[in-house]
Structure 1
Amino acid sequence: MAIKERVSLFKRYSDERIHQVEPFRTYYLIMEGTNTEPQYFWHLDRFLAKHRVRNNVKLVFLDRTHTDRGRNTPRQLFTFLREWRKENKDENAIYCMVFDRDSYKAYENPAEAYLAFVRRVKATAVRMIVTSPCFEIWLLLHRERAVAEYIWPDSRNIFLNRRLNSRYTYLSKLVQDVFGFNPKTSVPAEIVEKVDVALAQAGFLTSDVEEMAYEIGENVSAFIKELCFDPRDLR
């Protein structure tokens, strides 16, 4: 196993005011995808920093090295992250893995296999950031009225997310049709400018990782809200 770090750091407050906010938090993220998810989170990171809505948070993106790039199943990511946590010895950090429920659709019993893995991870210190069926559902939420106009009317096809050809699954083709880009190859930075739209619509879908075995959903929104939380609002 080999992992390398990419660090993103933004201090929202000047040093003399650090004592007024929560202790500095570090999040380590490892992602199943090598294009869609990393591009989105890098764009989001820059967007939050630009608009000064990050609260003394350090994001560390964990990349598999070249020899490990093909090892991207949820089980392998989980192993990588647990080994990294042991080596890193930062017990106060939050260790997150980003993956799709779709990763289990080739199993004989996809829901059973997915739930077995989720319940195993729940018993550990690893945080799961999950999308069902895949990360494109989170991207789709960035379009106004996406739930009412695209997701609910076509929920069966979206949940199954069958592969259409070598370039597209059902949902990636829908994202292409709605936004004009293929999320499997590139995610434009402009999409994160609509993150508030996505956060508002996320409440119409489940955020429970176990319910995602049978439903369309995501908990990316909960993670982003946590990044943006300002403890001064509680004073």
Structure 2
Amino acid sequence: MISGHFRSFTPLTQRFADDEIVEMENTKKYYFVFEGSNTEVEYFKGIEKYSKELEISNFIKIIILEKDESIGTHSNPKRILQEARITKKELIQKEEFDEEIDKFVLVFDRDSFKPVDSRREEYLDFINEAEKDAILAVTSPCFEIWLLLHFDKIIIDGLEIETLEALESNYEKFRQNLKVSNKHTFTSKVFSATAGTNPKSNLNFDNLLDKIQNAIEKEKSEVLEKDLVKMVDKLGSNIGLLIEQLRIDPRENAN
């Protein structure tokens, strides 16, 4: 049980078989905290649920921390970082967090610091501060940019276009990610048109599962930035890099 303003998500299925015993000293725990309350949380619950299929190391434990009502459904990355620091201290005191190997992961959007061209320094200052306490999983402008990478083609204004070509030819529209309706920004509207569902209300992770490796490979394209600092001005994502990191057996780097 996590105290403070986060509650831990317990999956309905058990990660390990009854006869599979993993010693705690060999297990590296990743505590995930999220700026958003829906899309990102549901996506990483799916990552945890299908960790075996995704070839995530058996010695990696993913712990999803969801915000309680005191934080609210919407909160900025600064607030989440503050709460994560409090939670980490509590976990250390209870000997549930090993500072040598365990990690917090803060998942947030670049456009939390919006307008993008007037809050550059605020974003950069936050990156510099937050990296002291957590791995930062960032999408620029928003998480839907990562979700779009799962598809070979995406739909913009009724036209089906190769994904990377579409990102490049509509670069500034994606980067600015302005509101286009009461429900959508430019990027979320493109995802909804492509996937046939609104990610805020129904992500449908199962339909994305077999496309995750596709997204990882597309993220490596030069169209997308992986460096957090450079994401201040560019489209980008490092979610694929994070998933690849989760596949590494932590014993390989043990002293």
- TM-score, normalised to structure 1, is 0.88
Match of 2:216 among 199, 202, 206: 199
Q: Which amino acid aligns with 2:165?
A: E
Match in the other structure for 1:5: 8
Instruction: Say which is worse superposed, 52-61 or 87-96, in terms of deviation.
Output: 52-61
Task: Verify the 8 A CA contact 1:136 1:175 in the aligned structure 2.
Answer: yes
Question: What displacement does 1:15 show?
Answer: 4.4
Match of 1:42 among 45, 55, 59: 45
Any residues of structure 2 matched to 1:153-172 within 5 Å, and which? Answer: 153-172=169-188
- Matches of 1:230 and 1:130, distance apart in 2: 23
Q: Which amino acid aligns with 2:225?
A: T
Establish whether residue 114 from structure 1 lines up as the match of residue 117 from structure 2: no
- Matches of 2:183 and 2:36, distance apart in 1: 15
Change in Cα spacing, 1:152 to 1:71, as seen in structure 2 (3 Å) is closer
Any residues of structure 2 matched to 1:136-147 within 5 Å, and which? Answer: 136-144=144-152, 146-147=162-163
Q: Which amino acid aligns with 2:50?
A: F
Question: What displacement does 1:52 show?
Answer: 5.2
SS of the aligned residue for 2:203 comes to coil
Task: Verify the 8 A CA contact 2:116 2:176 in the aligned structure 1.
Answer: no
Once the two structures are aligned, what percentage of the paired residues are identical?
Answer: 27
Establish whether residue 227 from structure 1 lines up as the match of residue 246 from structure 2: yes
| Deviations 1:51-96, CA, capped at 9 Å, x for gaps | 6543321111111111222452000010011111111001231011
- Matches of 1:40 and 1:15, distance apart in 2: 26
- Matches of 2:54 and 2:219, distance apart in 1: 22
Establish whether residue 86 from structure 1 lines up as the match of residue 89 from structure 2: yes
Instruction: Say which is worse superposed, 150-159 or 132-141, in terms of deviation.
Output: 150-159
Q: Which amino acid aligns with 1:121?
A: A
Q: Which amino acid aligns with 1:181?
A: T
Gap regions ≥5 residues in structure 1: none
Task: Verify the 8 A CA contact 1:114 1:213 in the aligned structure 2.
Answer: yes
Task: Verify the 8 A CA contact 1:11 1:56 in the aligned structure 2.
Answer: no
RMSD: 2.5
Task: Verify the 8 A CA contact 1:30 1:97 in the aligned structure 2.
Answer: yes
- Matches of 1:225 and 1:157, distance apart in 2: 29
Question: What displacement does 1:44 show?
Answer: 2.1
Change in Cα spacing, 1:171 to 1:84, as seen in structure 2 (3 Å) is same
Aligned residue pairs: how many?
230
- Matches of 1:96 and 1:132, distance apart in 2: 17
Task: Verify the 8 A CA contact 1:107 1:113 in the aligned structure 2.
Answer: no
Moved segments of 4+, more than 3 Å: 11-16, 50-54, 230-234
Q: Which structure is higher in helix share? A: 1
Match in the other structure for 1:208: 227
Match in the other structure for 2:159: none
Gap regions ≥5 residues in structure 2: 154-161
Match in the other structure for 2:65: 62
Q: Which amino acid aligns with 2:128?
A: R
- Matches of 1:215 and 1:147, distance apart in 2: 17
Question: What displacement does 1:13 show?
Answer: 11
Task: Verify the 8 A CA contact 2:124 2:229 in the aligned structure 1.
Answer: yes
